Amino acid sequence: MTKNNKEKSSFWKKLGLGKNKTSASSMTSDKNSIKSKRLSTQQLQPPTQATAPPPLPPSLPEQRAQKKEPAIMAPRVSLPKIKSQPSIHVDHHDISSTCTESVVTPTAHQKEEKESPIVYATEQPNITRNSDSSFVVVQSNDETPAPPILVVEEREKLLETIEQLKIELENEKATVNVLQLQKQAVTKDLDYFELSVDELLTEKTDLLQQLEDEKIKNQQYLDDLNLSLEKQKATADNARGQSFAVDQTKLEFESVQEQWRQEQKDLMSEINSKDKTIRELRTKLNKSTDQVEALQKAMESLTKSHSEELSRLAAEKEKLTAWTLHTPSGSPRIQPESVIHPSTAEEDEEEEWAPRPSPVLPIPSSSVAVVQQDDLDSQLRRLTKQKEKLQSTYSKIPLTGGGPQSRRRKEELEAMLDQVDSQLSKVKQKIRRS
């Protein structure tokens, strides 16, 4: 607030028109009341023209010259004394009350003067005034002269009364001048008040218009804010639903991932056990291959020795046949029995020297088992490699997403893995049984 506005507000507070004046009607009523007080002050104000002093009474020689004319003394009236006012301080708080009191006092005094029984020469047509007389003489039809002592006393009293009245008149003039100054000051103040009231009214209308504009703007802002809050609320609800769905999906993914990890652990443990079994089978296979090689070597050595024995026996038989055919002539004759039955002897000899068929060596069951073991080991290796390939292909398929083709491929790989596992279990059972 500027300095001028501060002065106006303090001035209105002094007059009692401060913060309580909040409406245009109250300001208008205050303006009208100030104007009415001003008009009443102007109406009650006494005329500013100086009244002429009362005429002096005629002198004593004139009264003596007019012995024939009876004089009627005006009765003495005790006039009210007006105290002189040394200084009058104008207080803006009590302007209306001061103006009213200062105006009412001379009006009451004038009423007393009208009601008083004093009769002056200027007001009565029957009163005459001479230049040397010092008292008022009223002509009458009675020609009884007044005593001179009483006339002198009355003259002195009248002079004193005139002096008092002059003093009172001067006081009244001073009072009138002060009141005129007060009136001018009050008029200026009222003009200033009127201007201030007009300015305040215009300022108030401007402020009210600004207030209405601000209310409209605030209402628009509130509407926009409510709309944005509703949108934000809807967005928050949607985000809450999406976050709930994301949490549910995350929980499902975590459960599936945990299940997959558990299955992977089980598969890894099973693979480790299978690898251990494969290593054991490989050691057994190595041992069985060593045994097969040893058996093959033994069989080769046996067949070689058997063939050597057969060749030796055949050579001996040939020698014997050759010896029997080339006997000398002086050899004893063969008995008739031997002649009769030469074939039997030859048969016996042939049976004796004929190479006996080598006994068929029974093939040990261990060699047959070794052959079967080789087949099982090859099957086991083949199935293990196939399983490893299927597992590597299965691990390349993503866990989530991918569409129906990836799910179909995944199901096919799972079915193939189940088949390979069943075949592996069968081969392992066969290996255990053997």
In angstroms, rounded to a whole number, what is the distance separating the alpha carbons of residues 148 and 135?
12
For residue 403, what are the CA distances in angstroms to 62, 397, 406? 151, 11, 6
In sign, the C-alpha dihedral spanning 147, 153, 157, 160 is positive
In angstroms, rounded to a whole number, what is the distance separating the alpha carbons of residues 166 and 76?
17
- The whole-chain average pLDDT of the chain stands at 68
> Would you state the pLDDT for residue 303?
80
In angstroms, rounded to a whole number, what is the distance separating the alpha carbons of residues 418 and 425?
10
In angstroms, rounded to a whole number, what is the distance separating the alpha carbons of residues 285 and 36?
136
Per-residue pLDDT, averaged over 46-75, amounts to 47
Q: Is the pLDDT of residue 165 over 90?
A: yes
Angle of CA points 350, 356, 359, to nearest 5°: 165
> Would you state the pLDDT for residue 186?
92
List pLDDT tens digits, range 344-367: 444 444 444 444 444 433 444 444
pTM reported for the whole predicted model: 0.26
Per-residue pLDDT, averaged over 401-413, amounts to 79
Angle of CA points 426, 292, 362, to nearest 5°: 95
Residue scoring higher pLDDT (281 or 82) = 281
pLDDT band at 393 (very low <50, low <70, confident <90, very high): confident
> Would you state the pLDDT for residue 377?
77
As a whole-number percent, the residues of the chain with pLDDT over 70 amount to 53
List pLDDT tens digits, range 260-298: 888 888 888 888 888 888 888 888 888 888 888 887 787
Read off the amino acid at residue 38: R
pLDDT band at 209 (very low <50, low <70, confident <90, very high): very high
Q: Is the pLDDT of residue 243 over 60?
A: yes
List pLDDT tens digits, range 410-421: 888 888 888 888
Quick check: 279 and 380 in contact, CB under 8 A? no
List pLDDT tens digits, range 36-57: 766 666 555 554 444 444 444 5
Residue scoring higher pLDDT (298 or 62) = 298
Q: Is the pLDDT of residue 214 over 90?
A: yes
